[in-house]
């Protein structure tokens, strides 16, 4: 039986965000893995004049391709990609859904404050170039147009009503030290699903990039067990 697995990255992101988990599943299985780059995204951002429908269309096209080629298809979405994944899952015969750091709610002020304190400490100690969070988000803060942020908010608005239409098995993972998505986003999603089988997992000390921080080995094993079970 041919199994396909679609990964959808986050807002202002790239496949980098989910690549460690995609690579892990590729090593463990013979599944067909797809990790498309959403329009305007990638390592160099070009988000001006990009509409959220272009992101949805891109992910939808990748999903349709897998559905045509595979017997079963799983979808894994990170951050905004988690909401796009939910939106598509409510409309297509997806077998299982994984939502990582899914942005049903966004910006966690308390954790942002902690991250900024870390950055200021590194700045004082002249180590800011070593601060992983600063390096990844410096360019994003400089080049993300306000219009793109509004398109992100439109995705959230489109996807939230889809949650109650989902009745397949769902695995939700959330980092406890996420500075972008509040931890309460995960139970918010959990409560709104219609799925009989749904799992909520908190990755201790993981930041927003949940596939790169915290106990990734435990997270990857849990996702693999869920999808292959």
pLDDT tens-digit series, residues 169-184: 999 999 999 878 889 9
pLDDT tens for each residue of 102-140: 999 765 445 555 665 666 676 677 766 666 665 666 556
More confident residue, 8 or 178: 8
Catalytic residues, by residue number, are 79, 178, 208
Residue 124's pLDDT is 73
More confident residue, 4 or 109: 4
Please state, for a pLDDT cut of 70, what percent of the chain lies above it.
85
What domains sit in the chain, N to C, each tagged with a CATH number? Answer: 3-108+146-228 (3.40.50.1820)
Q: How far apart are CA 178 and CA 171, in angstroms?
A: 18
Residues flagged as binding site for substrate: 11, 80
The pLDDT-based confidence of 45 (bands split at 50, 70, 90) is confident
Is the pLDDT at 226 greater than 90? The verdict is yes
């Amino acid at each position: 039986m041919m199994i396909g697995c679609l990964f959808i990255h986050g807002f202002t992101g790239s496949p980098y965000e989910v690549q460690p988990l995609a690579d892990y599943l590729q090593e463990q299985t013979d599944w067909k893995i797809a990790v498309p780059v959403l329009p305007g995204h990638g390592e160099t951002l070009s988000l001006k004049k990009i509409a959220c429908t272009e992101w949805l269309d891109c992910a939808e096209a990748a999903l349709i391709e897998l559905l045509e080629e595979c017997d079963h298809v799983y979808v894994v979405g990170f951050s905004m990609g988690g909401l796009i994944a939910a939106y598509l899952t409510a409309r297509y015969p997806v077998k299982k859904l994984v939502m990582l750091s899914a942005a049903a709610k966004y910006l966690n002020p308390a954790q942002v404050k902690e991250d900024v304190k870390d950055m200021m400490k590194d700045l004082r100690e002249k180590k800011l170039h070593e601060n992983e969070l600063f390096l990844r988000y410096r360019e994003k803060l400089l080049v993300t147009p306000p219009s793109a942020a509004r398109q992100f908010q439109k995705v959230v608005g489109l996807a939230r009503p889809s949650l109650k239409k989902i009745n397949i098995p769902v695995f939700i993972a959330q980092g406890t030290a996420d500075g972008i998505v509040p931890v309460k986003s995960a139970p918010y999603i959990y409560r709104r699903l219609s799925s009989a089988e749904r799992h909520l997992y908190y990755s201790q000390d993981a930041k927003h990039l949940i596939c790169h921080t915290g106990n990734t080995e435990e997270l990857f094993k849990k996702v693999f067990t869920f999808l292959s079970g």
